[in-house]
Structure 1
Amino acid sequence: MTEPPVAERAASVRHALLFQTTLALLAESAEPRKAADVVAAVRARVPFTDHEATLTASGKLRGDTAIRFDSSWARIGGWLLKGHDGWEITDRGRAGLAEYPNAEPLYRAMLEDYEREFAERKAAQAQDAASAKQARLEAALELVEAGSWTTYGDLAEVAGLSAQTVGSFVAQSESPNGFRVLSANGKVSEGFRWADPDRRDDPRALLAEEGVEFDQEDRASQAQRLTAYELVQLLDGESGEAPRRAWLIRGGNVNGKNLIPQWLSLGWCSIAASQIRPLDLPLTRRQIAEIVEIDYAQKSYNTRNEKVTEVDLFLNRVQPGDLVLTNDGARFYLGEITGAATSVASTDDRSNLRRPVTWLNPESPVDLVDLPSGVKPLLSSQQPIVDLTSDVAALRALVVTDEPAQEAAKEKATPELRLAPATDGLAARLLVSRVWLQDCIDLLADRRQMIFYGPPGTGKTYLAQEIAAHLTDEPNVKLVQFHPSYSYEDFFEGYRPAPSPDGSGTVGFALVPGPFRRLVDAARENPATAYVLIIDEINRANLAKVFGELYFLLEYRDRSIDLLYSTGTEAGFTMPSNVFVIGTMNTADRSIALVDAAMRRRFAFKALHPSTEPTRSMLDKWLAAQGLPDRNARVLDRLNELIKDEDFKIGPSYFMRDSVYSDGGLRLMWETSILPLLEEHHFGEGIDVAKEYGLDRILKRATSGMDDEPAKPTGENDEGPDAPSEITNAE
């Protein structure tokens, strides 16, 4: 919940007078009164001012909104009760009326009680994000009054919670409004249960009794739904000037005709609304839904819902001062909405709803390549109106002409993402050259995806983690490990068993985000920050199965697609440009030649082989930094000379552990790590791995500089009479 900004609210709407009248009406009534009756009675007793009679962005009278909004604070402060039967005044409310005959002191006293109660609630709750979200959910649920309904998804969006969490809360809450929360299709959830186990009322019958209309398939009327947007407006109120928004409105192909030249020459934009009757504006969302239900009766329920959203956006959400973007092919035009919407009977039914626009660049369109990076992926969305507000500052910077305005717009725009360059310190710590390290960073900046590949022990995962830590903060890095049973549902999103959203205790299935989806969603909120996904052992999974349609987005970051589990009603999914993927691939498991061609095209590959830089000199550098002799580096060199297959040579990391340099540590590591790897490599070849790659023999060759000599038959002393019986680290 947010505290009501008293001074700002009272400056434009007569909150105090309307609240005093509300209390007086309830005090006169011996029985609870329905919310709609109270609001209508207040309006009749205190005629609205011109400002109070205007519509909010959600299409409701400002005066009506103020009455409902203040009644919610009064309920929390203990001045009102709200139940199934309606509103009624409490003893505290009656005492307030008696104590404060003037409206302003009365209103302030109510707000003080609200603030005190709200502070006590906050103090009683754990001070974490979950508690804040639950408090917001509780406040939103209290706003769903008789004659209206909302969905689990709407409440989840408002509170920032999952629909399942919302369902559990609603089922356990003492709020009388829980039965007004329906499924997304407008139906009472099949698993709905009252919090009171002895209650047997039919929730649909109660909703109908309160005035909610249902169609023949028991779906509630969209006209009576409180959407997430409307709940946010009621929760947060209207203080100060509304923030300017930006919208993509399509006109390049309206039923086969390009309307952009007409828009630019006549100074307007439009939506077709081809089957809607001439409208007497303004209209609330509820009125729009009622009209669409009739005029589009032949269309599906889903089509009608989409049409309601489109018309409501154009008439109520788009406001004067907002920025509008449209395009004629690759030429993009920006304008500013200058007035209210009008309903006209266009001759071809392609522009029945219009808004006046001052076009800012009719003679100098913006090229596609110059658009903000966040806008480009949304261009492929199939929605007729797309919200671009997250890039409003960057869009405005494209058309402002005076220098101060340009600078101000640039300051507000999202800064360009730049990856931190390689440093000498980081290169020294990673035992690689700064040039090689910078190549890796440049590849990520260019391709966004990169794979380190090579034999075991070459530091692939370590390098990936350290580079990621250099590019961004730790919370923005996520590591996952692929394996043969890993799937798209594990990686990105999929349906999992979950409690029913109505909290009834039954088990259903819910769409649950995986690690990559969570990372992408976080990246979208912080476009100037790098987010890095590290995929360890990327070649061990069925990559086509795991990535699915995401393969496309890895290559085409400026496009959008429908996801496997999308409903089809939302805008297409895009991959933010600030998401980077670093994979590691063990070539001992699978050659790069066997990697899916689609994957090879989308990833840059950097080899880490023991015989080439930077891996070849890593052990020498590490030994020098530790103040140790280079004997083990020569041992590794001689060992790898015996291994002919590049993909099975041994990496230096096995020798870069402190335990190797304790007494007997080298031999223990050799027997438990090196020899098992080589036995797997030579499996079925009839080679005695222990003799061919015996530590004593390799050590003798390393320390004497002898050329390679064949191993003697099993049973012979392959070291000679002077060979040491135990290798120590004192050598």
Structure 2
Amino acid sequence: MSQWIFQGNPKRFTIDKEKYPDLHDINSYVKNGEIIDWSIRQAHHLKDIKIGDQVFIWRSDGEEKNSGGIIAISEIITEPFINGDGLSTVELKVKEVRLTESDGMLLRHLLKEMPETKNLLVIRAPQMTNYKLSEKEFSYLIDYWNHPNLLTNNSDLSIIEKYLNYYKNETQGKLPELNYIEQSYQYFIQFRNPDFIKNMEWEDFQKIGNHVNAYRMAIARSRAFGKMNAPLEKYRESFLYLVHGDDSIEIRMDQFLNNPDYKLFGIGANALSEMIGNIFPEQYCFYNQRDRVAVENELEIDPNYSRGDTFSQKFVKFQNIIRQYNIADKYESIVGRYTNLPVYYEVDQFFSFVFEKSKQTLQDDEIFHNPRYWLLAAGEGGNQWDSFKQKNQISIGWKKLGDLRNYKNKKDIAEKLKELDGLDHTPTNDALANEQFVRDMKEGDFVLIKRGKSKVIALAEIISQYKFDTENGDHHSYREVHYLNEGEWDVSDLPINTKTLTDITPYNDFLESLLKRIEILETSPPYETENPNAVKSIPYTIDYLSKEVFMDLEKIEDAIESLEYKKNIILQGPPGVGKTFVAKRLAYLHMEKKQIENIEMVQFHQSYSYEEFIRGFKPNDEGHFELQDGIFYSLCKQAQKQPDENFYFIIDEINRGNLSKIFGEVMMLMEADKRGNEFAIKLAYGKGETFYIPENVYLIATMNTADRSLAMVDYALRRRFAFIDLVPGFHTDTFADHLKSKGISQGFVDKIRAFMDDVNIEIINDKVNLGKGFEIGHSYFCPDGAVQDEQSWYERVVRLEIKPLLQEYWFDQEDKVDDLIKRS
């Protein structure tokens, strides 16, 4: 069974007067209706709704602040049906009603303050009607419903106390990873004896890798303790100084990390903080990535770092603030003790719990860096491998592109490749490879080197930023690496693609199989899958989408519902609103998973033809003409073979093509009620066989409203699509959160908003030449990585991207452009 929240807005709540003539508002409807109707407006939930499901009824605030929350609990007693207004509906049996705080309703603003309920989707995305609850969410809500005073009392606690209570309820007397902690404690306590360190052998040092979280990945453990990176005596002297030196802990840590006399390869700051926490657990808490995120972001405790603080200075400030807030004492008072170990071990486990519950992803590499894994071809057939190995480098081809840092984005790279190679198509994969190599790869990432599709020959760690040198042989664009493992491993049964560079980080099972195959991870049963060419998909929900796109959730809902009933939508809007980006995310959301294999994409242009899109005679490798399937025809055939999967065809810049010419007779099959085999037709090219568009194919197109050169989409096609307007998202919370996650201050967020408001108001007010369809979107101010100097970054965007666009808009009004730019 599933559990739900169904929401009603008291300002816009409608009641079927014929069915319920005596009920006039949401309160009377819920209190006196006994058996009531509720519409299901989130169509993707229909398949999950069953008789017997429990439903909390949520009344939104309406016009009275802090009046919203859960006012009743009910049960679904019918399967979904279509009501008189054409809406999917279920009947609910109301079991208990509480309309006011004194009655015991669960108030929204109190639930929002509790860590166990603050991330309810109805709180974060309040525009919808139907919300599915996880079992955990339902268990907390039903507990609060049964004990309403508990919510009131808990809401008065400090944020630390709230999380401690949450932790106590979740762990229920069991400390996670107890055996691991006890073994670490017993190992590291030996370091307190100087003679133990003086007599340590290499095998003793290698055991560190078994007792520090930073080395749980075998790659990191092998890097630090796989083989000695310095004489054994240096290891002894470095650890002897770290543990027993006369200097303060701050100085000792700083020297251990930075002084060549003490620094040891592979032992970084996070690992060091864990070792200190294990050796002196009565004095220091761990200071790894989980602890910092938990304390600084979720518990909202400011350690008062200063600009220029070293890692060791931050470590000391972190320890001081933990003592200042008496976290250990509060832990013992609320949670109690689960072990006889020093209390900071248990506090660290509490911080790990807070971290796991956190929804925030940190972007600052200084605080927290998740390495990514890449699959890279060593040239054609691996012909560059000897050079890679000799120079301890990796490189990307395409020397003719020059320094990749000179290109603004992937689009610029693609245009240059088209120009250099005389291509009539956009080399998307090649452009993406270059873009990822220069901007997305980071120091600390790992690269698997492949030879063709059947061999992996090395694993390396990236140890430098992107570099460009015309004197560096064939490798003008390169990065320095440290090779961790070399050999030749057969991976012909794994789904290795032919792309030059691929980010394989999201595909956990696939990545794990590769690492096991090359003996980086411990051995396990052989890699098995029903379909060896399939990469597992990643779940994708509205929660993910709401963090990635700067759109109102109501508009997202409109787009998904239109896609469901119309099957074809066009996203239209001015430049820079992320139309293509949004198109892919809407496809992910509609199929509820991030599975790129189910999406095909093409960009229309004036020369694009029916033969490329549907079917036609084209020359083969031998120069003879043969009947070949077009890209849309192939997708439809694939969808026909997999009726349980949804497939999506994204058409970028749909109004740039000759639509009647491209679609031909297939245009009549696009309508939602003309899908399926019963509407199959014979095509212009073929041998008498028929073709149809299956019901599991959806079209998402984009159209730039500022494209002056384009005619209107003809009516025959227009009536087959629903049109969704995308607008600049400068004033959405998601835009601000995105910029702050990249290191941009709130003051600069406000500055960008104010400047772009001025620019877009001028554009809108120019009714003669421009207007609303020419506004400038937010994507110009969406950096991929962390911004180190916000002023320089902002000035560069304005000077190199915004100003040229304004000069194109007002090519004969230079003073107007200059005046606007001065306001920046």
TM-score, normalized by the shorter chain, greater than 0.5: no
Question: What's the TM-score, normalizing by structure 2?
Answer: 0.31
Please identify the structure whose Cα radius of gyration is greater.
1
Instruction: Report 1 or 2 for greater relative contact order, CA contacts < 8 Å, sequence distance ≥ 6.
Output: 1
